[in-house]
Amino acid sequence: MHDSQLPDNFKVKVDIPIDKDGYLDLECQSEVCEAAFKILLDDWKDKVRDEEVFCPVCRHTTTSDEFIAAQLKYAESMFMAEFQPMFEAEMRRMTGDFNRSMPKDGFIGVSMSWKPSRPVVVVPLEAAELMQQRYTCESCGCQYAAIGAAFFCPSCGHNSVQTALVETLAIIRRWPEIKAALDAKLDRDTAANNSRLMQETNMVKLVTAFERFAEASFKALPNAGDFRLVHSQFQKLPQSSALWEEAIGVRYESMLTPNEWAELQRYFQQRHVLVHNDGIVDEGYLKKTGDQYGVVVANGQKPTILTY
């Protein structure tokens, strides 16, 4: 067998990625969030404090160096992109050499096999750019971006639920463009799987943005202090609708048609199924929504999978 032909000192030069608009890529270090987002590089230098940076999605707070972990992951992925083809070619060569060196007429036969790793699928740049939402903090002016709703300024922590809701709606309305970008750049099965996952994610983000917008709007009422709010009260539409009626004399149902009200309730139930029930539709979901569209029934009795 021959010695390894891999280089002794393999180096890859990696530039810190700044996009064409001057935004720096970052990532939340909370294990329950891990959201990717961007901050305008000038604002990262001039406005963001090293000792306190806020995740725009979950408001996890830590020091600036913790958020730079995204850069390290990027550097690692660039290294592997360069190194993996050489490594796999070397493994194929060594496997062939080993198998050719084994005697063919021995009592015990030995052979070596090797299976290459599964390639990593990356969302096409065109789709990622279409999904990105841009924000400017009303309080400190920091400019940042994220894929999906971002409620908090990474510089000062200011909560801007109204802007987040508007931006989330804008991205969802661009879904035909995003799907076209996926279909154009990925194979059919991968594009279909990514499309489904993104639609489910958009559903969760849209309902969450509405919920937080409703809660923040209620708390801004002059008489909000007269009411005792319980945890997650605005996740339950009938209860929050009754709360609005008590506070200002208006219910959700009075602002919507019967069909719109039923659809809004179905969205909230779908968010619950996706977040808390792994997408499995049970009798409770069907009873509360009456939804049959997109539901695949198994044997008429078993739980069903919610699809979009």
pLDDT digits (tens, 9 = 90+) for 297-306: 333 444 444 4
| pLDDT tens, position by position, 169-211 | 888 888 888 888 888 888 888 888 878 777 777 888 888 888 8
Q: How far apart are CA 270 and CA 289, in angstroms?
A: 9
Roughly what angle, to the nearest 10 degrees, separates helices 161-173 and 175-185? 50
- Tokens 């961007």 sit on residue: 38
pLDDT of residue 199: 79
Model confidence at 275, pLDDT cuts 50, 70, 90, reads confident
Q: How far apart are CA 179 and CA 172, in angstroms?
A: 11
**121, pLDDT greater than 90:** no
The distance from CA 96 to its chain's CA centroid, rounded to whole angstroms, is 42
Model confidence at 118, pLDDT cuts 50, 70, 90, reads very low
C-beta neighbour count of 112 within 10 angstroms: 13
Q: How far apart are CA 162 and CA 113, in angstroms?
A: 57
pLDDT of residue 305: 41
pLDDT of residue 160: 80
What type of residue is 67? Answer: F
Roughly what angle, to the nearest 10 degrees, separates helices 237-248 and 258-276? 130
| DSSP annotation of 234 | G
Model confidence at 218, pLDDT cuts 50, 70, 90, reads very high
pTM of the shown model: 0.57
3-state class (DSSP) for residue 304 = strand
C-beta neighbour count of 202 within 10 angstroms: 19
Contacts by 289-295 with C-beta closer than 8 Å and gap 24+?
Answer: 289/262, 289/265, 290/262, 291/266
Mean pLDDT, range 253-280, rounded to an integer: 84
* Percent of the chain's residues with pLDDT above 90: 19
Asked if 182 and 127 touch (Cβ cutoff 8 Å), the reply is yes
| pLDDT tens, position by position, 74-90 | 566 656 666 666 666 66
3-state class (DSSP) for residue 135 = strand
C-beta neighbour count of 70 within 10 angstroms: 19
Q: Name the pairing type of β-strands 36-40 and 143-147.
A: antiparallel
pLDDT of residue 304: 41
Of 120, 140, 112, the residue nearest 76 (C-alpha): 120
Count how many Cα atoms sit within 13 Å of the Cα of residue 251 in the half-sphere of its side chain. Answer: 10
**112, pLDDT greater than 60:** no
126, two tokens: 């065109």
Of 234, 19, 209, 29, the residue nearest 125 (C-alpha): 19
E-only strand ranges, 130-258: 132-136, 143-147
**54, pLDDT greater than 90:** yes
Mean of the per-residue pLDDT values for the chain?
76
Element (H, E) at 192: helix 188-219
| 3 compared with 248, residue with greater pLDDT | 248
C-beta neighbour count of 69 within 10 angstroms: 14
